[in-house]
Structure 1
Amino acid sequence: MDTIMSYLQNFGAIGLFLHALIDAVIFPIPAFFLQVSLSALHPEDAIGLAALGYAGCLIGTPIGYALGRTSGHLILNRFMKKKWLDSATALFQRHGEAAILIGAFTPIPFKIFTILSGCMKYPLWKLLAYAAIGRGAKFFIVGILFYMYGRAAEHMIDGMFGVILVAVGALFCTVWLLVRRFRKRKKPERAAVPVKES
């Protein structure tokens, strides 16, 4: 893995694009780590790096999804404990969107969410929409921090970035749950309105 990471780092921005793409498909090390190391070397290019990483992730997402549809259970059963897979499956069935949003913000390899989405035949357009929100925020928060603060951002990320990402992810999920609950309340109200006969 170290050899592959060093190889990708040698390609700079293109290496990050490729890493983000395969992170959404099968690679076990999140692209976040390569983004941080490249942004620390070239803070002036940090936002461009974020854009390339984001593009790679969005291109890789439907590939990971297709892998999940064709042989996802085989892959997940091979690399995950059964109790973890059962718990993740149950959570995903109840709160698919929230699981994707949280996963997009955390350092967990994003492939788990793309493959699991394919396994469970979760709508691809929803996966892409929530991945676009969550992954976009994550890549660009890192990019903006390095662009604004240079190498000093590395210490900020080491200290508080994980907490910030989880907090932002939780905020997104809370807003989403409130909107969903509001829509569910609206539907019974519409159904209760009597239809006037003409």
Structure 2
Amino acid sequence: MELWIDHLLTLLALPKFGLSSVFVVSFVSATLLPLGSEPVVFGLVELNPSLFWPAIAVATIGNTLGGAVTWWMGLASHKVVDKYQHSKHHLRAVAWLERLGPKACLLTWLPIVGDPLCAVAGWLKLPFWPCLGYMAIGKCARYITMTAALMGAFGG
């Protein structure tokens, strides 16, 4: 069984490519595509524990830049969303986001709602650079927490 886990971690970490794979997967996973980057980060760190902080940094940068792309996609999506602007859920969500402002982007680390939150921040024309900063903080905290927890769970 342990050999199977080692093989899976080797496959997920893509050691032949290392940090570049972490960057690409982290970037793509921050768009609206359904992909998680934590297994790749964990796999690389499990195989190379000395890469813990470089992997966290690269994943954070890739995921934040992917969040920035999603923010720009949101900014460009006014016409699509306009038809839903009068629903009570939409109005309540918009009021909440406008009240929090860029700080709402701290929550972009959350599964399911995090990536769309980047798009909504762009759609609301919340200031780009503060949003990007809060995205980076939230995403970095997620990678540190998830990778450290997985390393503890698997005895890394």
On the 8 A contact 2:13/2:42 being kept in 1, the answer is no
> 1:84/1:39 Cα in 2 relative to 1: closer, same or farther (>3 Å)?
farther
On the 8 A contact 1:20/1:53 being kept in 2, the answer is yes
1:59-78 equivalences in 2 (<5 Å): 59-71=65-77, 74=80
- Residue 93 of structure 1 aligns with which residue? 98
Displacement after TM superposition at 1:140 (Å): 3.3
TM-score (norm 2): 0.68
Which structure 1 segments of 5+ residues have no match? 1-6, 157-198
> 1:88/1:15 Cα in 2 relative to 1: closer, same or farther (>3 Å)?
farther
1:39-118 equivalences in 2 (<5 Å): 39-71=45-77, 74=80, 87-104=92-109, 106-108=110-112, 110-118=114-122
The 1-side partners of 2:102 and 2:154 are apart by 31
On the 8 A contact 1:24/1:109 being kept in 2, the answer is no
> 1:39/1:99 Cα in 2 relative to 1: closer, same or farther (>3 Å)?
same
Q: Which letter does structure 2 place at the counterpart of 1:19?
A: V
Paired residue for 1:120, among 124, 142, 149? Answer: 124
On the 8 A contact 2:102/2:127 being kept in 1, the answer is no
Displacement after TM superposition at 1:73 (Å): 6.3
Displacement after TM superposition at 1:116 (Å): 0.8
Q: Could you report, residue by residue, the CA deviation over 1:78-126 in whole angstroms, capped at 9, with x for unpaired residues?
A: xxxx77655533321222344321333x334642122111111111011
The 1-side partners of 2:46 and 2:77 are apart by 38
- Residue 21 of structure 1 aligns with which residue? 27
* Number of positions where the alignment pairs a residue of Structure 1 with one of Structure 2: 140
On the 8 A contact 1:40/1:154 being kept in 2, the answer is no
- Residue 182 of structure 1 aligns with which residue? none
Q: Which letter does structure 2 place at the counterpart of 1:45?
A: L
1:125-140 equivalences in 2 (<5 Å): 125-140=129-144
SS at match of 2:76: helix
The 1-side partners of 2:108 and 2:94 are apart by 14
On the 8 A contact 1:36/1:154 being kept in 2, the answer is no
SS at match of 2:51: helix
Structure label with greater radius of gyration: 1
The 1-side partners of 2:90 and 2:47 are apart by 38
TM-score (norm 1): 0.56
Q: Which letter does structure 2 place at the counterpart of 1:35?
A: V
Q: Which letter does structure 1 place at the counterpart of 2:98?
A: Q
- Residue 181 of structure 1 aligns with which residue? none
The 2-side partners of 1:93 and 1:31 are apart by 29
> 1:94/1:50 Cα in 2 relative to 1: closer, same or farther (>3 Å)?
same
